[in-house]
Amino acid sequence: MRREKLKLKVKALGISTGGPLVAVINEEDAKILDLHPSDRIKIFHGENFETTVVDIAKRSSRIPKGSIGAMDELSDSMNLKDNSLVTIKVARKPLSLDYIKKKLDGYHLSREEIEQIIWDIVHNKLSDVELTFFISACYCNPNTMDETVWLTKAMAQEGQILKLNKKVIIDKHSIGGIPGNRTTMILVPIMAAAGYTMPKTSSRAITSPAGTADTMEVLAKVIFPFQKMKDIISKANTCIVWGGALNLAPADDKIINVEKTLMIDAESQLLASIMAKKHSVKSTHVIIDIPVGPNTKITDLRKAKNLEKKFRQLGKKLGMEIKVILTDGKQPIGNGIGPALEARDVLKVLRQDIGRPLDLEKKCLLMAANLFRILGKEDGLNIARKILKTGKAYEKMKQIIKLQKGAPNIKPEEIPLAKFEYDMIAKKTGKIKSINNLSIAKLARIAGAPKNQGAGIYLYKHIGNNIRKGEKILTVYSGTKEGINYVRDSLGSMADIVVY
């Protein structure tokens, strides 16, 4: 006869699942409650209770009969210690599994169904396999615009919401895929110096040599409590912080981790992922940069224009003014690739140093001009250029760095680089015809970026530049001799990294 409840002794496993709440019970105890892997149990400990996924231990030596193994997330959630006594009973599986199956079957979901799925994701009620099924369902049966709107709002509402009591809040986002594309760290001080509020939450690198948060962290801290971020914004009109520490649209990070593993990028998920972060800070005017090129995330102009249309549609339904720009993604932007090298580029542009990367400056001015245009100012290019040339943007950046506990007066050349170097030398005279973004990014990561802030690549040449035999094409910086040896070996198999 099946019992309804069972008392077990806790064994803390010291293992993290990375999200889902998981408990492990002995095979004999599982038979008593007729439990199978991925079933749900409800665990009671004092006044606390939690619903968790169950796994079954085949070897009694790991989880003896009468015991229950608690993964770290479950232990933390319920404050469970070794030998704590808990009571368990069978629980029904989350409602959202029925909705995920509905989506897999090709049907559209309602707002309430999507909200339930996102709630279950955020509260760790779905296993990695179940979350994978949801993402796959949206990939194979693309969301309608209504579903994308509901998904965006649900993702934002399940996290922190920034309320600043401002009529105009601006933001930007780049689809990515371009090494060195550190426009945020120049655009933000330009717009803040012009008097606009721009609370910038940025990401760390996932597959690139540096994210904006990684590069900003070279100059200042990027991890702050929510209230401290608001204090920085109140003083500087802006901030440049890591969004991952702020619980903004937390479902997004879980979804991205699965997408990265599957190497898929569902369009509706991409739209919701980007716009949920904007919605969570109550952005009113947003510029979206879509680089288009042979080795970028968006390789096809037709796809880029379709994505542009959907960004504008989604923005309208969310009450945002959206401007999308399609930019040249054929090669890296700037000279530095990797956190420290990119931070040097940013400071050179803000300081207006001789030898600054003019391609990075030009792109930032283009983005500023378009932002000013949707804010009703047609002479935005001249406004942005003047803010940059007069040093107002640089002074604003120094204020941001100081408020974020950095060294505001640091010079570009004072930012340390990794101590071992390797030069790629031109073997013949010619002209640079192409630079492979993916290969450049891979090489910088091989060198140690972004984990080693000083590692990366310095590009001396760009597409269209003439080069003579014996000149440097690029220099790779790594923290170890082994890293340099790995770089040298890898270059041998990267025939297309630079074609000249």
Those residues with Cβ within 8 angstroms of residue 136's Cβ, 6 or more apart along the chain or in another chain: 104, 262, 264
pLDDT block averages, 10 residues each, the chain of length 500: 76 86 90 88 90 85 87 90 90 91 96 96 88 91 95 94 93 92 97 97 88 96 94 96 88 80 76 93 96 90 94 96 96 97 98 96 97 95 97 98 97 97 93 94 95 96 95 96 92 84
User: Within 13 A of 414's CA, how many CA atoms are on the CB side?
Assistant: 7
Can you give the C-alpha Rg of the chain in angstroms?
A: 25
- State pTM to two decimals: 0.87
Q: Which CATH architecture has domain 96-141?
A: Up-down Bundle (1.20)
Distance of CA 474 to the CA centre of its chain: 28
Q: Which amino acid is at 322?
A: I
Choose the catalytic residue: 72, 253, 265, 328. 265
Note the pLDDT of residue 247. 85
Q: Which helix (H) or strand (E) holds 86?
A: strand 85-91
Q: What's the rounded Cα separation, in Å, for the pair 330 and 418? A: 27
CA 125 – CA 146 distance, rounded (Å): 25
Q: Could you give the CA distance from residue 266 to residue 273 in angstroms, rounded to a whole number?
A: 10
Q: Where are the domains of the chain?
A: 5-91, 96-141, 170-244+272-403, 416-499
Query: Do 10 and 83 contact (CB within 8 A), yes or no?
Result: yes
Alpha-carbon gap, residue 214 to 210, rounded angstroms: 6
SS3 251: helix
Helix (H, G, I), strand (E, B) or coil at 399: helix
Return the pLDDT at 1: 41
* CB burial readout 463-498, b (16+ within 10 A) else e: beeebeeeeebbbbbbbeeebbebbeebbeebeebb
Phi, psi of 335 (to 5 degrees): -105, -35
Smallest CA-to-CA distance from 462 within 423, 424, 500, 417 is with 500
Q: 89: which 2 tokens?
A: 């009973």
Pair 148, 138: CB distance under 8 Å: no
489 is annotated as an active-site residue: no
Reported CATH class of domain 416-499 = alpha beta
In angstroms, rounded to a whole number, what is the distance separating the alpha carbons of residues 117 and 469? Answer: 59
| Cα–Cα distances in angstroms (integers) from residue 157 to residues 233, 288, 308, in the given order | 21, 22, 25
Q: Does domain 5-91 have CATH number 2.40.40.20?
A: yes
Same topology, domains 5-91 and 416-499? Answer is no
What is the dotted CATH code of the domain comprising 170-244+272-403?
3.40.1030.10
